[in-house]
Structure 1
Amino acid sequence: MLLPAPAKLNLILRIIGRRPDGYHELQTLFQLLDWGDELAFELRHDDAVSVQAGALDIPLEQNLVYRAARLLQAESGCRSGVHITLQKKLPHGGGIGGGSSDAATTLLGLNQLWQCNLSLDRLAQLGRALGADVPVFVRGHTAWAEGVGEQLTPVETARHHYLVVMPDCSVSTAAVFGHPGLTRDSAAITLPHLREGRLDSRWLEQHSGNDCQALVEHLYPEIRATREWLQQFARAQLTGTGACVFAAFDSATAAAEALADLPDRWRGFVATGVQQSPAHRQLAKIAAGA
């Protein structure tokens, strides 16, 4: 079984408070993309879980793919094993959901491969134990999120093509959220009435932005330089806690032309925003025998 693990962008990220348990109250708009990592799953003859992750230098017990597989085994009582090959495209510490998406695809894929038959709600609950962003990838739809990111409302967004630029640095999400200089008092906004689930583009343009951006750019001048370079083509902003920055274009051609001018010290890719996760679409094809 071969499945994608798509990237995400935070088109909006507002931090409206901090809870007594240390978690932050957020409002964010997750935009799924048609570009990301890829995972291959092969059944083993024992109950072991093995992961081949190329150059990704993370101990096995800390790898979210391994943890997701073991969590699903424990929850379902499954006695099967699996070998997982992870093809990484998404950078570690990039703010585009690489590890979270990999974990979600692992839960979704093994739930089908191992015939665990857990509901999507239960898989999302398991995902929440792995990370705040995992549930949106499990549910597989571009969504407005509140709480600590677990309260999800599926939305339809206007079709855009995005240039995502990856500076040569990695940002620790925990370090950013724990920093005393982080703004934590943004006013809450209300999701407007959705017509057939579609989000109004003017509302999105009015509220787009990222409360982490000022702090991250102060701590990492290279990220500021990246955004300022991208700003010459279209409005650019940070995604998540960084390090990646992005800008929206009306055509893939315009985004590709900007990418062609990218300085050599940075990497980038062009992707299209999608409403449904490519992982869900692929799983549906597999289930249908396509």
Structure 2
Amino acid sequence: MRAPKQIGAGHWCDLAAPAKINTFLHVTGQREDGMHLLQSIFMLLDWGDYLDIEVTPHGQIERIDNAHTGLTLPDNDLCMQAACALQQATGTRLGARLWLHKHLPAQAGLGGGSSDAATCLVALNKLWNTGLNQQQLCDIAVKLGADVPFFVRGHNAFVQGIGEHITPITVPSTAVWIVKPNAGVSTPALFKSNELTRNTAAIDLSTLCNLPSDKLWAFGCNDLQDVAQTLCPDINVACKWLQAQGLSARMTGSGSAVYAHCAPHLLTGYTLEPTLPNNWVSHKCRNLAKHPLLDWI
């Protein structure tokens, strides 16, 4: 991803908000409050959104839409919520103008909104000089969404619970090919389904650490995928397209994006894109060892 650039006093552009995929996602239980307990590896990708931020002295948080993206953003998206939450938590009198350049599709399971929020928190904490440490930022992040603390932590990780238990891990370098059908999946509907597996046996991190890379990528499954494919049959279609290229496909998160691992040098040898519907997203990328803004904390 592009490196951040300073283009004026208190004005930075190209603040990266990378996507993630789940190499597996197991539902191991459900709490009395209805929240589901998960285990998963979250892996950062060198594909994502970008945020531009200009610090202002008047305390107002403004988001300026970028018409060229063709995407309509809600008035109070997670980026705006993150900025306001940091402002309230620290009492700073500074404000900001935000430009959000969206590249990640919505309802994909790629963590786009959560990543945007995390980048906003980390960047504004530095630019406002509010001085919060990583744990303090995570305490704010968890109130914005279960995946936001992962992006604040900034490392590939073994994630447990409802997303609050994050253990950094090292994963092998890999290339990833993502296909996103036009249709999305309702995450609430998915988790409410009576057909959802909720009792997959929990594993120890040591089980994963001892696996070679090919076994690591094939480990487990996505417990959400069967239900998601019922709600969005195009997920199965996308998997079959990747499988037709000799790749092993799996859904990420709650969908509807699916992905396949392959050797980096093989990415240019595949020609699937022309066979995809015009309104589907196809993107080839690689994983990241760490978040581009990790050094900002």
Normalised by the length of structure 1, the TM-score is 0.91
1:219 is displaced (CA, Å) by 1.1
Of the three residues 150, 164, 170, the one matched with 2:164 is 150
1:77 is displaced (CA, Å) by 0.6
1:254 is displaced (CA, Å) by 2.5
CA contact (8 A) 2:23 2:217 kept: no
Aligned residue identity for 1:254: L
Of the three residues 48, 69, 74, the one matched with 1:59 is 74
Of the three residues 164, 182, 199, the one matched with 1:185 is 199
Match of residue 40 from structure 2: 28
Query: What are the within-5 Å matches in structure 2 for residues 1-290 of structure 1?
Result: 1-2=12-13, 3-54=15-66, 55-61=70-76, 63-192=77-206, 200-201=212-213, 203-233=215-245, 234-254=247-267, 257-265=270-278, 266-280=280-294, 283=296
In structure 2, list runs of 5 or more residues that go unmatched. Answer: 1-11
Name the Cα RMSD after superposition: 1.9
The alignment partner of 1:30 has SS state of: strand
The alignment partner of 1:31 has SS state of: strand
1:152 is displaced (CA, Å) by 0.7
- Write the distance in 2 (CA, Å) between the matches of 1:66 and 1:238: 29
Deviation string for 1:220-256 (max 9, x for gaps)?
1111111111112210000000010000011244356
- Write the distance in 1 (CA, Å) between the matches of 2:230 and 2:208: 36
Aligned residue identity for 1:140: G
- Write the distance in 2 (CA, Å) between the matches of 1:87 and 1:199: 37
Aligned residue identity for 1:212: L
- Write the distance in 1 (CA, Å) between the matches of 2:239 and 2:214: 23
Count of residue pairs the alignment pairs up: 280
- Range 155-164 or range 42-51, more displaced: 42-51
In structure 1, list runs of 5 or more residues that go unmatched. Answer: 285-290
CA contact (8 A) 1:53 1:88 kept: no
Normalised by the length of structure 2, the TM-score is 0.89
1:193 is displaced (CA, Å) by 6.5
CA contact (8 A) 1:6 1:279 kept: no
The alignment partner of 2:139 has SS state of: helix
Aligned CA distance change for structure 1 residues 264 and 75 (closer, same or farther; 3 Å): same
1:79 is displaced (CA, Å) by 0.6
CA contact (8 A) 1:157 1:199 kept: no
The alignment partner of 2:48 has SS state of: strand
Aligned CA distance change for structure 1 residues 84 and 199 (closer, same or farther; 3 Å): farther
CA contact (8 A) 1:108 1:138 kept: yes
1:56 is displaced (CA, Å) by 3.8
Identity percentage over the alignment?
A: 38
- Range 177-186 or range 146-155, more displaced: 177-186
Aligned CA distance change for structure 1 residues 32 and 258 (closer, same or farther; 3 Å): farther
Aligned residue identity for 2:116: D
CA contact (8 A) 2:250 2:260 kept: yes
- Range 73-82 or range 184-193, more displaced: 184-193
- Write the distance in 2 (CA, Å) between the matches of 1:167 and 1:133: 22
CA contact (8 A) 1:252 1:270 kept: no
Aligned residue identity for 1:173: T
- Write the distance in 1 (CA, Å) between the matches of 2:131 and 2:211: 33
- Write the distance in 2 (CA, Å) between the matches of 1:104 and 1:199: 30
